[in-house]
Amino acid sequence: MATDTSQEYDSVIAVCKSLFLKKTKDYGTAWRILRPASITDQIFIKAQRIRTLEEKKVSKVAEDISSEYIGIVNYCVIAMIQLDLGPDETNELEVERVEMLFDTKVTETKELMSAKNHDYGEAWRDMRISSLTDLILMKILRVKQIEDNAGHTLASEGVAANYQDMLNYAVFALIKLGIK
């Protein structure tokens, strides 16, 4: 993996994490109430808004595409944390623990990105941002199908791997958009 990709990835994640922790301090971990399907739907809403903005080029809400990709990154982290913690643990988590969980999930996801990036030769750099959006939407539809099948798959990776892919696609989009 190119050093630039690793540094750019870390820079984008720092922006996402900063917002995530600020919102955690503002709202606590209210997101702990969300079931996995609800988190998937939140990611869908953000990705669908990006696609609409890409196609119509007009926004009636002040948030731009970058903020939606940041939201996708953070909701993917939330989804992976929720998968690990499950509904039995307390809803309110300390900010320090949330930060540690965030870092763990991002580290695991970056390692996956590094392996795939090596094998695919950084093909994402030649892709259009709109294709990254479409890949996120496709992954969301896959996750929805897995959720509708009560998590059972015959030959496919599970939902966590799909969340990791979506997170990485969103980071790639943010790199291409110049977020640092």
List the one residue out of 95, 43, 91 whose CA is nearest residue 70.
43
Claim: this prediction has a pTM higher than 0.95: no
Residue type, 68: E
SS3 93: coil
Length of the chain measured in residues:
180
pLDDT at 1: 47
- Residues in the chain predicted with pLDDT less than 50, given as ranges, are 1
CA atoms 106, 25, 75, 37: torsion sign: positive
Give the residue from 108, 93, 76 showing the smallest Cα distance to 32: 93
- Categorise residue 151: left if φ over 0, alpha if ψ from -120 to 50, beta otherwise: left
CA distance 33 to 8: 32
Number of H helices, E strands in the chain: 6, 0
pLDDT at 180: 80
- 8 A C-beta contact, residue 170 and residue 6: no
13 close to 171: Cβ distance less than 8 angstroms: yes
* H-state helical runs in 65-158: 65-85, 95-120, 129-148
Amino acid found at 19: L
| Cα–Cα nearest to 1, from 119, 82, 91 | 119
pLDDT digits (tens, 9 = 90+) for 83-134: 999 877 678 899 999 999 999 999 999 999 999 988 898 999 999 999 999 9
